Amino acid sequence: MPIIKTTQVTKVYNPDTIPVHALAGVDLEIEAGEFTAIVGPSGSGKTTLLNIIGGLDQPTSGSIEVGGQDISKFSDSEMIDFRQKNIGFVFQAYNLIPVLTAEENVEFVMLLQKRSKAERQARVKELLESVGIADKWDKRPNQLSGGQQQRVAVARALASKPTFVLADEPTANLDSKSTANLLDIMARLNQEEGITFVFSTHDQRVIDRARRVVTLVDGQVDTDVYK
């Protein structure tokens, strides 16, 4: 059974004024353990699709099933709970909490989940080591480079042991070295721990490393290639 299934998902912005059809009937299934890149030109609907899958936005029509549940019918509070437990987000601009250290940023989601202190500490240590940034645990985001911040963001996304990780243009602000480093980490986590990653990206380096590439054009799936 796919962990993500979208059926005829549409999204129309400004339906009452000048309608913009961001998604025009997207059917997509993603299995557990995939390393998938959603690509396409600007305005093709990549971020919109990712937002809808992540429960951050509602589709105009169609359904989204995650782990067999139709999340488009969730209330706001149910959706927040769902995101907290099932989805890890990695954003283009890292979006770490500026006043918290690397360690606290990773711990934060677990705190929302009311995990015990011992469990939180063990998991934070494990994740920071896993993304190769354990020595920077006490640094705040403004004391870290872009690449280091994005690695903390990946650790944060994994802290809640999510079903999958959605990464919206995660390498857009990184240099080549940091990009390669980040992709190595995510590929390793995918292969060794079976974590599902779904990216939206323009970046050829990400596309090259993806095992499946879904191309969107004008809000529809144009090609869907497994490598």
Partner 1 sequence: MLLRLAWRNIWRNKRRTYITVASIMFAVFAAIAMSSIQRGAWGHMVDNVVKYYFGYAQIQKDGYWEEQSIDKAFLMDEEVKALQTKLPHVKDFIPRIESFALASYKKSTLGVLVVGTNGEKENAMTKLGTRITKGTYLQPGEKGAIIADGIAENLKIGVGDTLVLLSVGYRGANAAGKYPVKGLVHFGSPELNKRMVYLPLEEAQYFFAADGLVTSIALDIDDKKNIEPTILAVKSKLNQDKYDVLNWKEMIPSLVEAKQLDEAGAKIMLLILYVIIAFGIFGTILMMTKEREYEFGVLLAIGMHRMKLGLTIWVETILLGILGAVAGMLFSFPIVYYFYKQPITMTGDMAKAYEKFGVEPILPAALGLDIFLIQALIVFLMTSVLAIYPLLKIRGLRPVEAMRE
Residues within the interface to partner 1 (CB under 8 A):
51, 54, 56-57, 76-77, 80-81, 83-85, 89, 91, 95, 97-100, 104, 107-109, 111-113, 156, 160
Nearer to partner 1, 89 or 199 (CB): 89
Q: Is 10 helix (H, G, I), strand (E, B) or coil?
A: strand
* Cβ closest to partner 1, residue 144 vs residue 213: 144
Give the DSSP letter of residue 60.
S
Q: CA-to-CA distance for 170 and 199, rounded, in angstroms?
A: 8
Q: To the nearest whole angstrom, how small is the minimum distance from the Cβ of residue 211 to partner 1?
A: 26
End-to-end CA distance of the chain: 21
Q: Which is nearer to partner 1, 51 or 179 (CB)?
A: 51
For the record, the structure tokens of 104 come out as: 């606290």
Tokens 């606290």 belong to residue: 104
CB of 84 to partner 1, least distance (A): 3
Q: Report in angstroms how near the CB of residue 165 gets to partner 1 at its nearest.
A: 12
| Segments of the chain assigned E as strands | 4-13, 20-30, 35-39, 61-66, 69-70, 87-90, 164-168, 196-201, 212-217, 220-226
Give backbone dihedrals phi and psi of 202, rounded to 5 degrees, phi first: -105, -15
Considering the complex, state which of residue 24 and residue 79 has its C-beta at the smaller distance from partner 1: 79
Let me know: does 91 contact 168? Beta carbons within 8 Å. Answer: yes
Nearest distance from C-beta of residue 170 to partner 1, angstroms = 14
Find the shortest distance in angstroms from Cβ 52 to partner 1: 9
CB nearer to partner 1: give 93 or 122.
Answer: 93
